[in-house]
Amino acid sequence: MRPSMKRWMWHGVYAVVLLALGFGVYLATARVDYDWRWERIPQYLVGTEGEEIRAPFDGFVDVADDGKSIVLNELKGAGSERYAGFDRLLVGDGDLVFQNDVLARKSGLQAGPLAVGLWVTLEISALSLVFALVLGLVAGLGRVAQNPAARHLAATYVEIIRGTPLLVQIFIFYFFIGTVLSLSAFAAGVAALAVFTGAYVAEIVRAGIEAVPRGQMEAARSLGMNYAQAMRHVILPQAFKKILPPLAGQFINLIKDSSLVSVMALTDLTKAGREVVSSTFSPFEVWFTVAAMYLLLTGGLSWLVRRLEKGMAAGA
Amino acid sequence: MLEPLIHLRKVEKRYANGVRALHDVSLDVKRGEVLCIVGPSGSGKSTLLRALNGLESITGGEVVVDGFAVHDHRTNLNALRRRVGMVFQQFNLFPHKTALENVMLAPTTVLDVPAADARARAQALLDKVGLGDRGASYPAQLSGGQQQRVAIARALAMQPDVMLFDEPTSALDPEKVGEVLDVMRQLAREGMTMLVVTHEMGFARAVAHRVIFMDGGEIVYQDAPEGFFGAPRNERLKAFLGQILK
Ligand SMILES: Nc1ncnc2c1ncn2[C@@H]1O[C@H](COP(=O)(O)OP(=O)(O)OP(=O)(O)O)[C@@H](O)[C@H]1O
Ligand SMILES: [Mg+2]
C-alpha cells in the first residue's frame, strides 16, 4: 500500500470509531427511553420573548388614547412614571398593578440564562487569569530569590495551595475570608481561583527561569546589571517563551476549574446549566450544550495562544 | 610608581563542597599588561578570573580591582563590574536579542546612555570586530567565531579598564579560532589590560607580557613568554608543556 493511502485508511478508522461511539450513545439513551428534545435548548441560549418593562411600585395604570404610552400612578404617594416605545402591552386602562408586575414587552433578542452564565464564567476566568499571572510571577520570582524570607514565603504559599482541594479553598474564601472582608460571591470566586491558579503559575515561572542557562545571568551580571535588570531584560524574556505552553494549559484548567464556583451564590455557566435542567427536565441536552460552550472558551484560548507563539517564533 | 590595576594577596577559595580551588594566590597586574594563564583542567583558572569580578566570592585574602575591594561585602559589585569586561567560553550572548541589541543592552540599561548614542557606539564596535554588517542577526544565525566576537564587542561597550577572557576559543571549530585571536591581539596592541585563560600557546607566546602556570589552585610558575616557553625551571610546568605542545 502506498503511504498516502495508508494515511487515508487511518483517517477512515478515526471516523468509524467516532460514529460507533455516537451510535453507542444513541443505543444507551434508547435503552432508558430517553426522548431527546433539542428544540427546548435554543430559548435558553437566546431569549425571544423580549425585554420586560416592570412596575417599580404599586399603582394604577393609565393607558393613553392611542395605546402607545402608559402612565403608572403610585398607589400610596404622588410618584408617577411614563413608559413608551414598547411593542406589546400586557395591562389595561385602570388596572391595579403591584411592584415587579410586567407592564409591557419590547420585542427583540436577549441573552438567555446559558449565555449569561457563559458571560459570567468568561468574566470570572479572565479576571482570575490576570490576578493569577501577577501573583504567580511574584511568587515564582520569590521561589528563585536569594532572600530566605521571600523563598520560604513563596514555597509555603505554593505548598499549601497545591496540597488542598480547590473546592475546599473556595469554601474557605466564600465562608471565611468572604465573610470577614464582606466580599461578594463574585469577588470571593475570583480571589479563590486566582490564588489557586497563582500557585501553579509560580511553579511554571520558577521552572521557566531555571531552564534559562546559568551563563545568561552571569553574562548579564558581569556587564554591571543588577539582579532586577538582569531578570527583566535577559532572564524573563527567555523564560517567557518556555513557559507560554504550560501557562496556556494552566489557564485552560482555570476556565474548567471555574465551574466549581457554582457552589456559591453565583450563576456561572455550570450553575446556569443546573437551573435550566431543573426547568426543562432535559439534562442530557443541557449538559452536552454546556460542555460545548466550555469547549468554545478553552478552544478559543488555545487558538489565541497558538497565534501568540507563532508571532513570537517569527519575531526571533 | 603607579598602583597596580589588579592586586591579589593570599587569596583562598574553598567551594561549599570542600574543594579548594585557590590557595595562597598573590598577583599584581599593571595597567596595560597582558597576562596569559595556563594550567591543567581543574587547576583553578576560571575560579581566579571569576574572583576578580565577584562572580565567585573568595574565602580568604584580598582582591582589589580598579580600586574596588572585591573581597569586602560592602563593595558595590555592580559598579566594579561596569569597569571589568568578561568573555566566556560559551559566549553567553542573549539569544532573544540581535547582535546590535546585545552590544547596546548594558550601556542603555546600566549607564542610561541614550539609545541613539548606544546604537552608534555598538555599530562602531561591531565594525571593529569585523561584523559591521551582521548587527541585525540573532546569535543563532552566527557562527561560533562570530558570536564570540559579538561577545567581545558587548563587553567593550561598557568601556572597561580590564578584560577577562576565560578560554574564549575553546568552544570554537579550529578554523574559527584565528578570527577571535586576531580581535584580541588588536585589543592588546591598543593597550587594554587583559587576563586570558587559554590553551593557545602560540597566542600566549606572541601577545602576553607574562604567562602564569596554575596547578592545584596555586600559581606554580610565572615568567615572560621567552623564559616561560624557552627554559622553564619547573618540573610540573615542563610536564604540562610537554603534554600540550606534543
Ligand atoms: N561551583 C563549584 N562548586 C564546587 N566546586 C567547583 C565549582 N566550580 C569549580 N569547582 C571546582 O574547583 C576546582 C577549580 O575549578 P576551575 O573551574 O576554576 O578550574 P579550571 O582551571 O578553570 O578548569 P578548566 O580548565 O576545566 O576550565 C575544580 O576542582 C572544580 O571541580
Ligand atoms: Mg575553566
What rounded mean pLDDT belongs to chain A?
90
Residue with cell 577572557: B165
pLDDT tens-digit readout, A274-285: 999 998 888 889
Is A39 part of any domain? no
Statement to judge: residues A15 and A144 lie in one domain: no
| Contacts across the A-B interface (CB distance below 8 Å) | 60
Task: Identify which of A216, A229, A316 has the shortest CB distance to residue B110.
Answer: A229
**Number of folded domains that form chain A:** 3
Statement to judge: residues A231 and A140 lie in one domain: yes
Statement to judge: residues A225 and A88 lie in one domain: no
pLDDT at residue B1, rounded to an integer: 47
Q: Which residues surround ligand 2, an ion (CB under 5 A)?
A: B 46
pLDDT at residue A30, rounded to an integer: 86
Percent of chain A at pLDDT exceeding 70: 99
Torsion, CA B149, CA B155, CA B159, CA B160, rounded to 10: -120
Statement to judge: residues A93 and A139 lie in one domain: no
Q: Does B53 touch chain A (CB under 8 A)?
A: yes
Q: Are B109 and A241 an interchain contact pair (Cβ–Cβ within 8 Å)?
A: no
Is A22 part of any domain? yes
Statement to judge: residues A159 and A298 lie in one domain: yes
Among the candidates A91, A107, A123, a domain finishes at: A107
- Flag whether pLDDT at A48 surpasses 80: no
Minimum CA–CA partner of B158 in chain A = A223
Statement to judge: residues A81 and A30 lie in one domain: no
ipTM score assigned to the predicted complex: 0.93
CA distance A311 to A240: 13
Which residues of chain B lie closer than 8 angstroms to A312, CB-CB?
Answer: none
CA distance B71 to B68: 9
CA nearest neighbour of B83 among B102, B60, B64: B64
Q: Does B113 touch chain A (CB under 8 A)?
A: no
Is A232 part of any domain? yes
For the ranges A79-93, A112-126, A268-282, B89-103, the lowest mean pLDDT is seen at: A79-93
Segment A112-131 mean pLDDT: 94
**Residues A221/A230, Cβ–Cβ less than 8 Å:** yes
Cα B166 to averaged position of ligand 2 atoms, centre (Å): 7
Q: Are A222 and B81 an interchain contact pair (Cβ–Cβ within 8 Å)?
A: yes
Say which CATH number the domain at A69 has: 2.40.50.100
Is A281 part of any domain? yes
CA nearest neighbour of B240 among B42, B90, B8, B88: B42
Statement to judge: residues A208 and A284 lie in one domain: yes
Statement to judge: residues A289 and A220 lie in one domain: yes
CA distance A207 to chain B (A): 18
Which residues of chain A lie closer than 8 angstroms to B195, CB-CB?
Answer: none
| Torsion over CA: B236, B238, B244, B246 (sign) | negative
Q: Are B55 and A224 an interchain contact pair (Cβ–Cβ within 8 Å)?
A: no
Statement to judge: residues A10 and A97 lie in one domain: no
- Flag whether pLDDT at A193 surpasses 50: yes
The x, y and z cell numbers of residue A66, run together, are: 392611542
- Choose the residue to mutate in B11, B15, B240 for probing ligand 1, maximizing ligand atoms within 8 Å of C-beta: B15
The ligand with the least distance to the CA atom of B15 is 1
> For residue A308, what are the domain limits?
113-315
Statement to judge: residues A97 and A147 lie in one domain: no
Is A44 part of any domain? no
Task: Identify which of B82, B94, B155 has the shortest CB distance to residue A234.
Answer: B94
The ligand with the least distance to the CA atom of B39 is 1
Q: Are B109 and A225 an interchain contact pair (Cβ–Cβ within 8 Å)?
A: yes
Say which CATH number the domain at A241 has: 1.10.3720.10
Minimum CA–CA partner of A239 in chain B = B96
- Minimum CA distance residue for ligand 1 atom 22: B46
Q: Are B90 and A216 an interchain contact pair (Cβ–Cβ within 8 Å)?
A: no
Is A40 part of any domain? no
Q: Does B86 touch chain A (CB under 8 A)?
A: yes
Is A42 part of any domain? no
Cα A122 to averaged position of ligand 2 atoms, centre (Å): 54
- In which band, very low, low, confident or very high, does the pLDDT at A315 lie, cut at 50, 70 and 90? low
DSSP class of residue B3?
P
pLDDT tens-digit readout, B164-213: 999 999 999 999 999 999 999 999 999 999 999 999 999 999 999 999 99
Which residues of chain A lie closer than 8 angstroms to B105, CB-CB?
Answer: 223, 233-234
Is A237 part of any domain? yes
Statement to judge: residues A189 and A156 lie in one domain: yes
- In which band, very low, low, confident or very high, does the pLDDT at A47 lie, cut at 50, 70 and 90? confident
Closest ligand 1 atom to B89 CA: 27
Task: Identify which of A216, A219, A233 has the shortest CB distance to residue B109.
Answer: A233
Statement to judge: residues A153 and A275 lie in one domain: yes
Cα A236 to averaged position of ligand 2 atoms, centre (Å): 27
Interface-testing mutation among A223, A236, A241, with chain B (most B C-beta atoms within 10 A): A223
pLDDT at residue A1, rounded to an integer: 65
